[in-house]
Chains A and B, each alone.
Chain A
Amino acid sequence: MAGLPRFRIDVFITNKPAIRDPEGESILEDLAILNGFESVKSIRTGKVLAMEIEAENVEIAKSKVIEMCDSLRLYNPVVSSCSVRVAGG
């Protein structure tokens, strides 16, 4: 019997807009703008968790990842939000 297909899912964790992101501010002000990229107006840093998961289909894979993000607090809902993107099948 063949195993379940494996999916690549990326989880992006970023701080909510109200939360200051000094690292992003520093990259914007001290690196980008100082070196001629004045058209860049905002930089927010975050964390990416690149996952591989086996599931019957991509929808199930995605919902399993979302369930894990919420139940294991992979992101801190007080200050962060998280988005899930399918990277490949």
Chain B
Amino acid sequence: MDKLKVAIVQFPGTNCDRDTYHILNDVLKADVQVIWHEDLRMDAFDSAVIPGGFSYGDNLRAGVIAAYSPALGQLRKAGEDGKPILGICNGFQILVESGLLPGALLRNSGLRFVCRWVNVRVEAGNSLFTKFSENGTILKMPIAHNEGRYYAEDDLLASLERNGQIIFKYVDEGGQPSEPSNPNGSVSNIAGVSNHDGNIVGLMPHPERASESLLSPFRTTHGLQIFTSMLRSVEVLLKR
């Protein structure tokens, strides 16, 4: 079987593309390509990652200008075809601004750029991106953002919970979504959500910075679980 093709979509201001490429290409041996957003044709790929950064300098609102790139039309179609799409940090912001994911991401409640390791609890194990993590697994990953306060109105929040679209929550060492463990004021400590069908996921933490023990103060490689799950999901999709 051909290797799975993963696109890493690069916008002006994207800066986590090389890190993401390194993990997928060098560590997980996937067939992965960094693609300039104007050149993205999803016919040629089985899945896509929108990496972190500051697309278009975060002008107007983080992610909103990239959301109007033709790449998002490609990703929308690919999403409808069931292909896994992952948005990390600014990628999450772009997916939310383009309407591919529900809710909004606001400026951190503490009014500061927050850069630190957090504990993230898997809320929806066995999703396309958490196949290798049981429900309740705690993943250690770093965050680095200024606009990560996830917001959804009460009705939307209830439907996200009902449909299992809340994928990750910030938790404390004991695994509880407590107030001190919430780094940015996100509603219900939400760190990542999915679309209704579960094949598009966005999260604020950076799994690509948490996939090699050398880069982790805890010697953990928890971020790998997300990429491995994604690759495994494409395999399943291709066999159908």
Contacts and interface: CB of A to CB of B under 8 A. Distances in A.
Interface string B75-104: 000000000000000000000010000011
Given A22-B111, A23-B111, A79-B151, A73 B67 contact: yes
A68 interface: no
Contact of A19 (B67, B106, B110): B106
A18, A26, A73, A74: which has the most chain B beta carbons within 10 Å?
Answer: A73
Classify chain A: how many residues form its interface, as a range: 10 to 19
Interface of B: 60-61, 64, 67-68, 97, 103-104, 106-107, 109-111, 151, 153, 185
A64 interface: no
Instruction: Tell me the interface secondary structure of chain B in the complex.
Output: loop
A72 B64 CA distance: 9
Contacts, number: 30
Contacts of B153: 18, 78
B68 A72 contact: yes
Nearest to B68: A72
Q: Main secondary structure on chain A at its contact with chain B? A: loop
A76 interface: yes
Interface in A1-29: 15, 18-20, 22-23, 26
A72 B110 CA distance: 29
A7 to B, nearest CB: 21
Contacts of A15: 106
Contacts of B97: 73, 76
A73 B64 CA distance: 8
Given A22-B185, A73-B67, 14 more contacts: A15-B106, A19-B106, A20-B185, A22-B107, A22-B109, A22-B111, A23-B107, A23-B111, A26-B111, A73-B97, A76-B64, A76-B97, A76-B104, A79-B106
